[in-house]
Structure 1
């Protein structure tokens, strides 16, 4: 396990290239988001995704969300209409997990064989750099059922040296993302979390 300190405002290019290479070759990386620390693997590396599940002690019957870099990336892996895209444009990047209908390109392992996927574009430069070339998992970096970690120190206490890389860029807010289901009409909030006030304004507007 490598612990790498990264500037949260201006992630160092050399460090980010190294970390992306690790993800691209099937490694696992713990990284900060705008909510809590997440556990990442390329969604296209089945063995790496299985490592994420095993590390957390998470059932394969439970899907994990994915982190993306741009709204165009979301269009590549999910089905969007104009109404959904308008909502997404108003709230992302931000502390939201959006449930959408997935395209075939998304491996069924990630979604527990369901036709829906949770997607995030965190308001965090490190996240956006890590997922610039391919989607990565974005499940909290803790044992299933335990509190979500707010710092690299908490992650190490939970997961030890199992991840290939742990990024340390200081504390996160510790408030989990708000989950908005866009597969139903009207959209439904499945979990209240960070950014609720702004989301309610968007939905009511």
Structure 2
């Protein structure tokens, strides 16, 4: 597995642009976040999302969370009322994933000079789990790509998520399906995966704390 080292304290544009170009090609890249390492992929690419499930050995029936660049981007793919929006403004960017009702048809997304309907793969039929991470290199990817990205943890299903780069490498070593690139930022600050809140219920429900 090819590995590139990055420094999380600064934006290394040349390295991040190379990551962006690979993501545009439907590749899957292990990348650091403000919680744990994740397999980053274009959430609008069926092929890329399928590969994420294969790498994680995860059932396609088990939906995955999605990263977005801002609340406006979230509103293109999820139903967000004013009360929910005010709440999201207090927790995003940050370590909180929220489950929202999906829009039946996504709002227009501009790609190049064309407006297209955006389809997100790997999510549930009626709901979608969204988060805006709080890490500059990841936020740089989201803003430059201007598309939602897969935001699930980089681990084989059933094994713990990790911010330890050696553990991440060990889990995927010699596996049939592997990521196309691993971005090595060293061992991340100790953190649990994000809190998950279900905002489709009243009152909201904590799914993972």
Deviates further, 139-148 or 127-136: 127-136
Alignment of 1:57-136 (within 5 A): 57-103=57-103, 104-105=105-106, 107=119, 109-112=121-124, 114-132=125-143, 133=145, 134-136=147-149
1:138-173, CA deviations, whole angstroms, 9 ceiling, x for partnerless residues?
111110000112122211111127111111112222
1:36-88, CA deviations, whole angstroms, 9 ceiling, x for partnerless residues?
11111101111111111011110011000011121221112211111000000
Q: Does 1:153 align with 2:166?
A: yes
Tell whether the 8 Å contact from 1:33 to 1:122 is kept in structure 2 after alignment: yes
Match of 1:139 among 139, 152, 156: 152
Residue of structure 2 in register with 1:197 after alignment: none
Residue of structure 2 in register with 1:201 after alignment: none
Tell whether the 8 Å contact from 1:34 to 1:123 is kept in structure 2 after alignment: yes
Tell whether the 8 Å contact from 1:28 to 1:163 is kept in structure 2 after alignment: yes
2:44 is paired with a residue whose SS is coil
| Distance in structure 2 (CA, Å) of the matches to 1:23 and 1:175 | 26
Q: Does 1:30 align with 2:43?
A: no
Aligned residue-pair number:
191
Deviates further, 40-49 or 2-11: 2-11
| Distance in structure 1 (CA, Å) of the matches to 2:121 and 2:45 | 10
Q: Which runs of 5+ in 2 are unaligned?
A: 107-117
Large movers: runs of 4+ above 6 Å: none
Residue of structure 1 in register with 2:16 after alignment: 16
Structure with greater proportional helix content:
1
| Distance in structure 2 (CA, Å) of the matches to 1:108 and 1:169 | 28
Q: Which runs of 5+ in 1 are unaligned?
A: 193-205
| Distance in structure 1 (CA, Å) of the matches to 2:149 and 2:19 | 12
